[in-house]
Amino acid sequence: MLQYKSPYIGDASNVSNLLNELPFGEYKNKISLDTEKEPYGLSADYDLTQFHESDMDFIYKTILRNSAVLFSLIENLDTIRYNIKMGNSSYNYEFTRSSLEKIYFDQDLREYSRDQGEFAKLISFKDIPSLLPRPR
């Protein structure tokens, strides 16, 4: 995934290809990039209809990990919004670089993409609690 490292969020094909490589990539419907002014953002729409309400903790932990990877590899990305469709329900989650760094990590997430060894630490990160507060 280090091949998708970029200083800028503005390369839509790079971002889309990176999302395709991450868990749930096959369920991605579309993305949009907010590159006009800071904070720079990414919105990604997913159709996870084949999952169930009982999978919500797994889904949340997965997109949280995906966010850490995205913040690591895209240097000027500040916020990520996920719009998830599950049958007739929809869920929206938003993560910021600063909140993930403050709560879960001991360094700037961009530092994890310095080299293969540091990136492997990020990919294998397991310290996310099993139940996290989720926006409603």
Instruction: Answer yes or no: is 133 within a domain.
Output: no
Instruction: Answer yes or no: is 131 within a domain.
Output: no
Indicate the number of domains in the chain. Answer: 1
Strands (E), the chain: 28-34, 41-47, 79-86, 89-96
Strands laid side by side in the 41-47 sheet: 28-34, 41-47, 79-86, 89-96
- Which pLDDT tens digit goes with each residue over 64-117? 999 999 999 999 999 999 999 998 999 999 999 999 999 888 789 999 999 999
Residue 104's domain spans which residues? 2-123
136, pLDDT greater than 70: no
* pLDDT band for position 128 (cuts 50, 70, 90): low
Instruction: Answer yes or no: is 89 within a domain.
Output: yes
* Percent of the chain that is helix, strand, coil (3-state, to 5): 45, 25, 35
Residue 131: predicted pLDDT? 37
- Which pLDDT tens digit goes with each residue over 52-64? 989 998 999 999 9
